[in-house]
Amino acid sequence: MSPMNRRDFLKASAAASALIALGSKAQAAPADPKDLTWTKSVCRYCGTGCGLYVGTRDGKVVSVKGDTENHNAGFLCLKGFLLPEIMSAPDRLLHPLVRKGDKLVQASWEEAMALAATRFREAIEKHGPDAVGFYGSGQGLTEETYAANKLFKAGIRTNNVDGNPRLCMASAVAGYVSTYGKDEPMGCYEDIDHADVFLLVGTNTSEAHPILFRRIVKRKQSGKDVKIVVLDPRRTATSRVADLHLSFTPGTDLAILNAMASVLFAEGLVDEAFVARHLAFGEGADADKTLADYRAFLAEYTPERAAALSGARAEDIVTAARWFGAKGRTAMSMWTMGLNQRTKGVWANNLVHNLHLVTGKIGVPGSTPFSVTGQPNACGGVRDGGALSHTLPYGRLVANEKHRAEMEQLWNVPAGTLAPKPGLATMDMFRALEDGKLKALWIMCTNPAQSLPNADRYRKALRREGAFVAVTEAFHPTRTSELADVVLPAALWAEKEGVYGCGERRYQLLECAVKPSGEARPDLEILCDLGRRLGHGALLPWKTPAEVWDELRAVAKGTAYDFTGMTRERLRTAHGLLWPLPAEGHPGTSRRYVKGEDPLVPADAPDRVLFYGRPDKKAVVWLRPHKGPEEPVDAEYPLWLTTGRVIEHWHTGTMTRNCKELRHANSESVAELHAEDAAAIGVRTGDPVRVTSRRGSVVFKARVVDGARKGLVFVHMHDPDRMCNVLTIDAVDPVSRQPEFKICAVKVAKA
Amino acid sequence: MTTVAGVLLQTVPGAGPRVAARLAGEPGVTLAGGDGDARVALVWEAEDGAALDALAEALLARDPEILGVYPTFVGNDGER
């Protein structure tokens, strides 16, 4: 057989993907587009935030089409295209359930809510407000997350409010805050169209964010000598289009990033004027170092030393730095979980920012550091909305007395209502559930019993004697709802109205297109009901999500997030709006910190950028040394394990596994192995292998792939029957409290 | 450099075979399959992504039986 060339490979891949999309059976298609009612909305899946229209007929969602006027230019990925199927999935939860012995049985809303409220009230009365907690989601609507945050922090008076964005982007948040003083990317998707160099670090954009990847590919083809550099231990579909792929030993990219900075200085690629005007330097938590300190620090990170530490080639590190730093060329970095899900995730984020700062490649079209987001409303709802255990809405902090006072005034509660001590971050919250300090937990729109690292440990905690767990969820059973004491049917996506904020600070309205299925209710209604039953109804007085939105605009007014001008009516007609947007006539802000674009930068500011997030108006270059992962490989556990997405599935699979076309594709998680590692244990593709870590053991089918790195096992994350998180480690970054999902040590044997 | 895309077309019911037949004459288009009703799977090759976008827009504009164009895969062969 003649070898397949790259074009043949691509054609085969393209045909396979299209045929998978075709499915074995046709989707019920609309008889005629004129028969449908089209409602403007946003995709339910990743943080790209693709605009779309929901096509309904006879009260059912039957079709979607991309919004050609939105940033995605009408394109949707396969998951988005198949969204109608999730709405009527056979495992949609249509009625409340309460636990009777070992079983969850159907109950009335009154019975279920009364039970949940009673157990929460008892826990609070007997053990204090910190005996309860709320675990939310980057998939909840902004209004819903805000209601929960307000109820728990201002009503119940506990800061035990956290959410699954802690698992995916907390390190990006801490990276932005430590470097610029404010969270969230300063750039936008349009920067992709102007970038000359892409530095993609720890992101398989091709599969995890296909519509953004399409835009990157388009730019590569239309721009002049556009370069793509990928830093990833694996050779992914993304790295196949790269001009330079640096594969390295997991957890050693800090050395590579420092070495790139070292090359920038050594080769005169630093913007000295920008450095002098706009940068401070720091180590630890203090910005008290100098440029000379930084240069001395970088002297340790020669490309050769970084190569020795990482296994990458020194000449590739030099090339990557030269391309990134080339004068007169723009550079855009993008990253996701490979950088964030690490015990040194914040440091890794800082080091990417450093490259932009020392070259001055920031704040111009095509030059920006951009953390890409995994969930549709992690940014808008949880990050911006301040629904983490240490935050308050719109950049405010629990530990800041002035911020608490502002929120107490805005929420019309007595001074001193808000507790000054940050609450429990996600892993601490589930550990508190395990050791009995947390008595009752409300889980909304997420599936932690599958998605937490070291999952079996926390599955036991969720069923601990005396613990009470309420779950609101659109599907049942999930690996979490099966453990709950009360499961409440939540309205799903097009069944309710609210706002999503995607990765580029773009807020968009999802209009309600159909009535909720069965007895399902929007989470906002459920939370307001809970609040009334706990005696806090006055804090949650709203009749509609639009009323919540008006309150949110007032809460954000005057902050760095100001979106006062985003009225509900404007959101209904616009195809997404980017904050800051402080007045109704304002068009929104493509690039923050930039004079002439960001309304918070004075028109008479002396320079093109003003990093107003910090008191000294400077961004910080941090001296962050190389430090390896928490659990290195050893003689007993000699292989690295990493986990991640495939294009067909999303998160714990509760939605994508309900699409029959997607069930045919990669629905069963496999363990991808390097050919030599597979040969060493005598397995071939399709053979069962047992992957064992210090925390658990799971059997997968082996898949021997040419993109694997020797010594590295990659496992898909979506399969509830083969949960990769039984294996992953629950060690966290000490600053962001984000777990190191991406790296641990395992052994693999033929099963 | 050539861009290769996997594409799913959604058509009005029953129009899939007709649409497929019309597209078979398009340069760079290879039919990968269809459900015989309202879906057509294609592989498109073009000089660059912009050409693919333009073709998608043109198809939607000129063929009323095509309801949607959904890329399922985009890659390039890196050969110049």
Per-residue pLDDT tens digits for A626-638:
999 999 999 999 9
Out of A181-190, A386-395, A619-628, A645-654, least confident range: A645-654
Fold that domain A25-87 belongs to in CATH: N-terminal domain of TfIIb (2.20.25)
Fold category of A174-374 in CATH = Dimethylsulfoxide Reductase; domain 2 (3.40.228)
Query: Mean pLDDT lowest for which of A30-39, A405-414, B8-17?
Result: A30-39
More confident position, A663 or A366: A366
d(CA A101, CA B65): 56
Residue ranges, comma separated, of all CATH 2.40.40.20 domains in chain A are 639-728
Catalytic residue among A79, A153, A227, A742: A79
| Bigger pLDDT: A707 vs A181 | A181
Q: Does the annotation mark A169 as catalytic?
A: yes
Mean per-residue pLDDT for B47-63?
74
- The reply to whether B15 touches chain A by the CB within 8 Å rule is no
Average pLDDT over residues A269-288: 98
Tokens encoding A601: 């930068």
Delimiting residues of CATH 3.40.228.10 domain(s) in chain A: 174-374
Q: Which range marks the domain in which residue B13 is found?
A: 3-74
User: What is the β-pairing status of strands A132-136 and A440-444?
Assistant: parallel
Give a yes or no: residue B54 inside a domain.
Answer: yes
On whether any CB of chain B is under 8 Å from the CB of A194, the answer is no
Active site residue A374: yes
**pLDDT at residue B80 tops 70:** no
Interchain pair B7, A210: CB under 8 A = no
Q: Is residue B79 part of a domain?
A: no
B34 reaches A (C-beta below 8 A): yes
Any idea what the Cα angle at residue A403 is, between residues A398 and A404, rounded to 5°? Answer: 60
Q: Which of A374, A386, A531, A644 is catalytic?
A: A374
CA–CA dist A583, A564 (Å, integer): 6
> pLDDT-based confidence at B79, cuts 50/70/90?
very low
pLDDT above 70: residue A227: yes
Tokens of A562: 């100001």
Domain membership of residue B24 (yes or no) is yes
User: Which span out of A60-69, A219-228, A606-615, B53-62 was modeled with the highest average pLDDT?
Assistant: A606-615
Q: Which of B3, B41, B79 sits opposite A19 (nearest CB)?
A: B41
CA distance A208 to chain B (A): 12
> Across the interface, do A10 and B78 touch by the CB < 8 Å criterion?
no
pLDDT, tens digit (0-9, with 9 covering 90-100), for A129-171? 999 999 999 999 999 999 999 999 999 999 999 999 999 999 9
Task: Assign A427 a pLDDT band (cuts: 50, 70, 90).
Answer: very high
Q: Identify the pLDDT of residue A748.
A: 98
**Yes or no, beta carbons of B6 and A18 under 8 Å apart:** yes
Contact A475/A490 with Cβ under 8 angstroms? no
Cα-trace Rg, chain B: 12
Which of A46, A337, A445, A724 is catalytic? The answer is A337
CA angle (A208, A210, A213) in 5-degree steps: 110
Q: Rounded to whole angstroms, how far apart are CA atoms A729 and A640? A: 12
- Region of B28 (left: φ > 0; alpha: ψ -120 to 50; beta: rest) is left
CB contact at 8 A, A56 and A515? no
Q: Assess whether pLDDT exceeds 50 at residue A4.
A: no
In a domain, B57, yes or no: yes
Q: Is A375 a catalytic residue?
A: yes
Q: What are the residue ranges of CATH 2.20.25.90 in chain A?
A: 25-87
The token pair that represents A180 in the structure block: 């610029």
Domain A97-168+377-489+516-540, CATH class in plain words:
alpha beta
Residue A660 confidence class, pLDDT cut points 50, 70, 90: confident
Residue B80: inside a domain: no
Sole residue written with tokens 């990157």: A216
Candidate CATH numbers 2.40.40.20, 1.10.1040.10, 3.10.450.40, 2.60.40.1180; the one for domain A639-728: 2.40.40.20
* Spatial separation of the C-alpha atoms in residues A301 and A307, rounded to whole Å: 9
Q: Is the pLDDT of residue A420 over 70?
A: yes
Contact between chains at A15 and B32 (C-beta distance less than 8 A): yes
DSSP per-residue letters across A248-281: --TT-HHHHHHHHHHHHHHTT-S-HHHHHHHEEE
pLDDT for position B76 = 63
ipTM confidence? 0.79
pLDDT at A530 over 80: yes
**Residue A644 clears pLDDT 80, i.e. is over it:** yes
Query: Could you tell me which residue, A73 or A372, shows the higher pLDDT?
Result: A372
pLDDT at A30: 44
Residues of each domain in chain A carrying CATH 3.40.50.740: 97-168+377-489+516-540
Is there a contact between A29 and B13 if contact means CB atoms under 8 Å apart?
A: yes
Give the CATH number, domain containing residue B13.
3.30.70.920
- Name which of A149, A120, A127 is nearest A136 in CA terms: A149
Using DSSP's 3-state secondary structure scheme, residue A730 falls into: coil
Whether the CB-CB separation of A512 and A125 falls below 8 Å is answered with: no
When scoring A221, A224, A226, A647 by the number of chain B Cβ atoms within 10 A, the one with the most, hence best to mutate, is: A221
- The size of the A-B interface in CB pairs under 8 A is 147
Q: Taking CB atoms and an 8 Å cutoff, what residues of chain B touch A73?
A: 53
Residue A724 is among the residues annotated as catalytic for this protein: no
- Contact status of B37 with chain A (Cβ, < 8 Å): yes
Active site residue A79: yes
Nearest to A382 by CA among A551, A168, A188: A168
pLDDT band with cut points at 50, 70 and 90 for residue A620 = very high
Q: What is the mean pLDDT of residues B54-63?
A: 77
Q: Is the pLDDT confidence value at A1 over 50? A: no
